[in-house]
Amino acid sequence: NLPLFLLQADGSVMLANGIIQACLDPLGRMVSLSLLRPKREAVPEGCQANQFVIFDDVPLYWDAWDVMDYHLETRKPITHLLKPLEISTPGGLRGSVSFSLQLSKSSILTQEVILDAGSPYISFQTQVDWNEAHKFLKVEFPAKVRSPNATYEIQFGHLQRPTHWNTSWDWARFE
């Protein structure tokens, strides 16, 4: 099935291709992502996937790669829309929608959300003009999944961590 992109009156966009269906709110956050057969929703109710957040990065000792757990208390969601959602490619074998967010006075994020015909997933092409010091950017994708462990990709492989913080060892793996 070919991708279908529908711009709603409130500025949100519905995208579907017969396999999956998603809805992006006016800020580009995914409020729904569902597999059509069987009907299964991936985004928990009341949450948004593709939510960009900025954290303060003020390490105790070293500047590079020394993230402290208290950075989690400085979470600031990005909610300043610079360029509203726009259907860049209306359909055919590929459809896409793009938007831009103002991260700060000097940093901008532009993202293209892509859905291909017959694809069971959505692609994100993100470009960031980053002009910050002692800050870092994350994107959140809460998922409606229950598992005791999660596997994370890193530069040269992957690692597995628990999804809970029951012990001090679990807590030490916050990042």
pLDDT digits (tens, 9 = 90+) for 84-108: 999 998 878 999 999 999 999 999 9
| Mean pLDDT, residues 12-38 | 95
- The pLDDT value recorded for residue 116 is 95
Q: Does pLDDT of 161 surpass 70?
A: yes
Query: pTM (2 decimals)?
Result: 0.86
Domains along the chain with CATH numbers = 4-172 (2.70.98.30)
Rounded Cα distance between 113 and 8, Å, is: 16
